[in-house]
């Protein structure tokens, strides 16, 4: 799937539709690329933990909201290479490109509050590498 939404080019393989959490993680990553704090906050639990490996760790939805308010640089391209889910866990890897020419490859590992399809994200561990 390639989609142009609010000047964001999204590159992501079509899904079979049998894994609802894959759609959740796809939309969650699109929201990050677009700096859509409302969508992100709706998707996480109150006690969320976001571990940005080698940088910082954020605890709780309120602190996550404060961190999201600092995001101002929207991506111009999001390439999602893999979205993997099983039970309460999931992972996404890909590349974000920004208008200033910088690109970052990432892998985010997710833990949901339960295996239910409407479960909130409870933990995120992010590995990010600047590639240009």
Measured CA to CA, the distance from residue 63 to residue 44 in angstroms comes to: 12
Contact 75, 8 (CB under 8 A): yes
**pLDDT tens sequence across 27-61:** 999 999 999 999 999 999 999 999 999 999 999 99
pLDDT for 72 = 80
pLDDT for 7 = 84
For residue 30 the two structure tokens come to 């699109």
Contact 53, 127 (CB under 8 A): yes
pLDDT for 17 = 64
- Say which CATH architecture domain 2-130 belongs to: Roll (3.10)
pLDDT for 107 = 99
Measured CA to CA, the distance from residue 76 to residue 73 in angstroms comes to: 9
Buried b / exposed e along 86-98 (16+ C-beta atoms within 10 A): eebebebbbbbbe
Measured CA to CA, the distance from residue 115 to residue 85 in angstroms comes to: 10
Q: How many Cβ atoms sit within 10 Å of the Cβ of residue 110?
A: 22
Residues of the chain with pLDDT under 50: 1-5
């Amino acid at each position: 799937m390639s989609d142009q939404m609010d000047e964001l080019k999204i590159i992501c393989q079509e899904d079979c539709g049998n894994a609802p959490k894959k759609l959740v993680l796809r939309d969650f990553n699109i929201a990050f690329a677009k700096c859509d704090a409302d969508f992100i906050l709706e998707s996480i639990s109150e006690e969320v933990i976001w571990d940005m490996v080698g940088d910082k760790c954020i605890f709780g939805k309120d602190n996550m909201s404060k961190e999201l308010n600092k995001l101002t640089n929207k991506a111009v391209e999001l390439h999602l290479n893999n979205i993997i889910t099983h039970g309460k866990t999931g992972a996404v890897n890909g590349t974000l490109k920004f208008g200033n020419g910088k690109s970052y490859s990432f892998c985010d590992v997710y833990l949901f509050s339960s295996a239910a399809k409407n479960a909130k994200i409870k933990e995120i561990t992010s590995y990010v590498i600047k590639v240009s």
